[in-house]
Amino acid sequence: MRYTFWNNKGGTGKTSLAFQSITRYAEDHPEKKVLAIDICPQANLSELMLGGLNNKGSEKLLGRHGQVPRCSLGGYFQLRLPSPYTPPVFNAHDFITKPNAYNKEIATNIDLVCGDPLLELQANAVNTLANQNIPGTNAWIAVIDWLKTFLEQINKEYDTIFMDCNPSFSLYTQIALATTDKIILPVMADDSSRRAIQNAFSLIYGLKLPSEIYASYAFATKLKDAKRALPKIHIIAKNRITQYMGAASAYAAVLSSIQSDIQSLLKTNPEIFSFKTIESGFVEVRDFQTTGVVAFAKGQPFSKVKAGKQTINGHRVQVKKEYLDNSVKAIRRLVNHL
């Protein structure tokens, strides 16, 4: 099964949820082999997996980028640029990192394809290649299949694959979404999140496009024309609900509006969801607060975070056991839906 964390809006806590969900899932299923793919130029998921800020995750990531071939998704894409429509000879394992070798807090059954700022530099070239008019070749599908081709080589090695995407709808994001089965869509309790989720459905499924002019260029149209299945929305994570007031706060009206929008789509377009009821499709995640700060500074799953006072970047902070327990429960609720 392939899951992708994505929202068209930044700041929804997507990577935080991805990191904690992937590590929790791997801990809960030690018999399963898990692959995390960081499809984001910022590569924050990779830095967390490799140790976080306090344990030189960024430096370790640069070390992976310095390998030959470059050990990252950007390294694989770099290999594909001269051969966009016909896969070259390559070994997928050259681009895979074992996080536990750099960060002992990460379960040994997780592998990682690191993110890379090269993705942003490659975006224009990849987009140009995908829009070439080549007789007898669907250039867009050939490029969209880059990740599919990569995973076909190693598919039997992994039970579950997770992808963390950039908030944009750049072609590298489309490459990920075209390869995934189910989408985890984090939302915040604000009006911009409601607009973003509406836009996400438009971008992926071609719903409520402003004009028919856009229909033939839509992601959904191109995939359907190639007889490819679209991914399904699997979880909508109501993220960073305030620790103190929960969904009963003033934010409830916005969250209710988002749920109402999804309820309408469940009736008109049930095929785009993997769930049949609102209750089974939404998961509430409260703000991680200091627990999150500590976990992400150290590159730790919540299961490894200790309650009590500790030093982060020269500052003394305190992780309250109650808040740590709440964070663990929130992630467990999300992971139980996978």
Q: Residue 255: is its pLDDT beyond 90?
A: no
For residue 140, what pLDDT is reported?
96
**What's the rounded Cα separation, in Å, for the pair 12 and 4?**
14
More confident residue, 117 or 207: 117
The per-residue pLDDT for 205 is: 93
The answer, yes or no, to whether residue 27 has pLDDT greater than 70, is yes
Overall average pLDDT of the 6-23 stretch? 89
Give the C-alpha separation, 198 to 213, whole Å.
19
* Buried b / exposed e along 4-29 (16+ C-beta atoms within 10 A): bbbbbbeebbbbbbbbbbbbbbbbeb
Please classify residue 171 by burial: count the beta carbons closer than 10 Å to its beta carbon, then call 0-12 exposed, 13-18 middle and 19+ buried: buried
Q: Is pLDDT above 50 for 243? A: no
Helix or strand run (H / E) with residue 142? helix 139-144
Contact at 8 Å (CB) between 40 and 115? Answer: yes
The better pLDDT of the pair 314, 24 is held by 24
The pLDDT-based confidence of 244 (bands split at 50, 70, 90) is very low
- DSSP code for 192: H
Residues 335 and 24: beta-carbon distance below 8 Å = yes
47-54 mean pLDDT: 95
Nearest CA to 267 out of 276, 280, 256, 279 is that of 276
Q: Which residue has the tokens 């536990």?
A: 100
In the prediction, which pLDDT does 292 show? Answer: 87
Give the domain extent around 67. 2-335
- The candidate with the shortest Cα–Cα distance to 34, out of 162, 123, 145, 163, is 162
Ramachandran class of 90: left when φ > 0, alpha when ψ lies in -120 to 50, beta otherwise: beta
Instruction: Judge contact between 253 and 193, C-beta under 8 A.
Output: no
Paired tokens of 329:
């429960």
Those residues whose C-beta lies under 8 Å from the C-beta of residue 332, and which sit 6 or more positions away, are: 24
pLDDT at 317: 86
* Residue entry with tokens 């310095």: 66
Total domains in the chain come to: 1
Q: Is residue 2 a contact partner of residue 165, using CB atoms and an 8 Å limit?
A: no
- pLDDT score of 301: 96
Under the banding of pLDDT at 50, 70 and 90, the label for residue 240 is low
CATH for 270 = 3.40.50.300
Percent of the chain with pLDDT over 90: 68
